[in-house]
């Protein structure tokens, strides 16, 4: 009987945890993403894409530009070429983009396996590549390709990069616009170790908290002062936070709905356990009442058990929730941000659930028929 009660108790605690932990994890992950976007792009970012083919612009020119305009949060050099990738099994012609670590946030790439190029890959000049699902299928017949090596030649130099990530397959429109070719991404440092001699093909500047015209004027002024010819320019306002907020709102409703179902199950479970416990401890509560404990004190005695359970559940939920968000953030390569709201919810929800569960049992305990218990009249 005692074992069955303990099992029921653990199941109910699990119900609360299943409801709360994903909420904590979701809020923390979403907040981490928002913080990262805010730090990278600001809350109101402009993306200025400059086509520099034929110009003499070097990476250091844009580093100087970022010193003049501190609002430039990211400089994303992009060098595009059509290249053949060779695996031990097959070949594939792809659009190869040599980029830095900021590219995937700007491009909104969905990495489904492994990770995108990181600052570490650039700093240590590592020979790595990220390919899309289409290319992976063509080269290996599978998308489980992490760690495999490829052979390629870019600008006359041969490389043997290791596959570190796989991005999501393109949709039909994207595929058609790219002549049915897949995409591959390598660190731009593979083309030029220090990016000193490298002539920029295209660069994307992320400028935060600026008006479009103001940003455009400042950049044009700088480029003309250095005689850098710009073939074309494309400017757009990017509000990733709005997108993030919408994503968060959509999923939050679903998560809350699922959580509420789990909480209902937990409330039923805990109420049932408490009623069984009170039935078994009738003599105890009867004696408390006989010895002059007020109804309120007896109710508090039951509620204190609910508080203890809430404490256990909230601790477990927060720990599990944080663990999930740590794992998700490390997979997405986002610096973790622990939200106060998530911790507050992680504490409050189990307390509310446990207290709601204990209300009826506490009244049952305080209304036990003392005569029948103490004098055993039943």
Binding site for another protein (CB under 8 A): 283-284, 287-288, 290-294, 297-298, 300-301, 370-371, 374-377
Q: Name the nearest CA neighbour of 260 among 328, 358, 352.
A: 352
Query: Residue 222 or 307: which CB sits closer to another protein?
Result: 307
E strand segments, 25-160 = 45-51, 72-86, 91-99, 111-114, 128-132, 151-154, 157-159
Query: Residue 80 or 293: which CB sits closer to another protein?
Result: 293
Q: Name the percent of the chain in helix, strand, coil, to the closest 5.
A: 55, 20, 25
C-alpha distances in angstroms, 367 versus 276, 298, 352, 363, 371? Answer: 15, 9, 23, 6, 11
Our CA angle for 136, 137, 138, nearest 5°, is 90
Query: Residue 244 or 287: which CB sits closer to another protein?
Result: 287
SS3 (DSSP) at 70: coil
Query: Residue 46 or 288: which CB sits closer to another protein?
Result: 288
Phi then psi for 201, rounded to 5 degrees?
-95, -50
Our CA angle for 51, 205, 159, nearest 5°, is 70
Report the alpha-carbon distance of residue 27 to residue 215 in Å, rounded. 34
C-alpha distances in angstroms, 309 versus 20, 26, 98, 279, 344? Answer: 14, 24, 54, 19, 17
Helices and strands (H and E) in the chain: how many: 12, 11
Least distance between another protein and beta carbon 271 (Å): 22
Query: Residue 158 or 291: which CB sits closer to another protein?
Result: 291
Least distance between another protein and beta carbon 297 (Å): 4
Query: Residue 286 or 321: which CB sits closer to another protein?
Result: 286
Least distance between another protein and beta carbon 285 (Å): 10
Least distance between another protein and beta carbon 13 (Å): 23
Least distance between another protein and beta carbon 315 (Å): 26
Least distance between another protein and beta carbon 293 (Å): 4
Report the alpha-carbon distance of residue 166 to residue 115 in Å, rounded. 8
Phi then psi for 239, rounded to 5 degrees?
-115, 85
Phi then psi for 152, rounded to 5 degrees?
-155, 160
Least distance between another protein and beta carbon 311 (Å): 20
Query: Residue 6 or 297: which CB sits closer to another protein?
Result: 297
Least distance between another protein and beta carbon 355 (Å): 18
Query: Residue 14 or 287: which CB sits closer to another protein?
Result: 287
């Amino acid at each position: 009987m005692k074992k069955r009660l303990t099992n029921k108790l653990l199941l109910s605690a699990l119900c609360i945890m299943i409801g709360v932990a994903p909420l904590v994890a979701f809020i923390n992950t979403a907040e981490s993403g928002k913080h990262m976007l805010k730090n990278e792009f600001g809350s109101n970012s402009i993306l200025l894409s400059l086509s520099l083919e034929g110009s003499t612009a070097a990476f250091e020119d844009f580093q100087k530009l970022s010193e003049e305009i501190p609002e430039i949060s990211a400089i994303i050099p992009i060098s595009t070429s059509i290249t053949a990738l060779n695996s031990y099994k097959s070949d594939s012609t792809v659009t190869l983009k040599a980029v830095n670590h900021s590219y995937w946030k700007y491009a909104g790439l969905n990495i489904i396996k492994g990770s995108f190029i990181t600052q570490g890959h650039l700093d240590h000049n590592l020979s790595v590549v990220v390919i899309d699902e289409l290319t992976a299928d063509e080269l290996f017949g599978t998308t489980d390709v992490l760690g495999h090596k490829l052979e390629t030649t870019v600008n006359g130099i041969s490389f043997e990069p290791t596959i570190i990530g796989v991005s999501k397959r393109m949709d039909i429109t994207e595929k058609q616009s790219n002549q049915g070719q897949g995409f591959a991404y390598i660190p731009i440092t593979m083309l030029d170790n220090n990016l000193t001699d490298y002539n920029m093909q295209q660069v994307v500047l992320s400028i935060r908290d600026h008006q479009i015209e103001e940003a455009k004027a400042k950049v044009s002024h700088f480029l003309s002062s250095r005689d850098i010819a710009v073939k074309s320019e494309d400017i757009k306002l990017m509000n990733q936070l709005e997108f993030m907020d919408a994503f968060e709102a959509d999923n939050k409703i679903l998560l809350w709905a699922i959580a509420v179902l789990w909480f209902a199950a937990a409330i039923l479970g805990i109420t049932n356990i408490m009623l069984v416990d009170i039935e078994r401890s009738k003599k105890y509560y009867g004696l408390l009442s006989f010895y002059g404990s007020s109804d309120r004190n007896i109710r508090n005695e039951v509620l204190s058990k609910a508080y203890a359970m809430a404490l256990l559940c909230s601790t477990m939920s927060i720990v599990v929730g944080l663990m999930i968000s740590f794992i998700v953030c490390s997979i997405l390569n986002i610096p973790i941000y622990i939200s106060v709201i998530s911790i507050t919810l992680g504490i409050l929800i189990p307390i509310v659930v446990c207290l709601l569960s204990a209300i009826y049992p506490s009244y049952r305990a305080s209304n036990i028929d003392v005569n029948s218990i103490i004098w055993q009249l039943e």
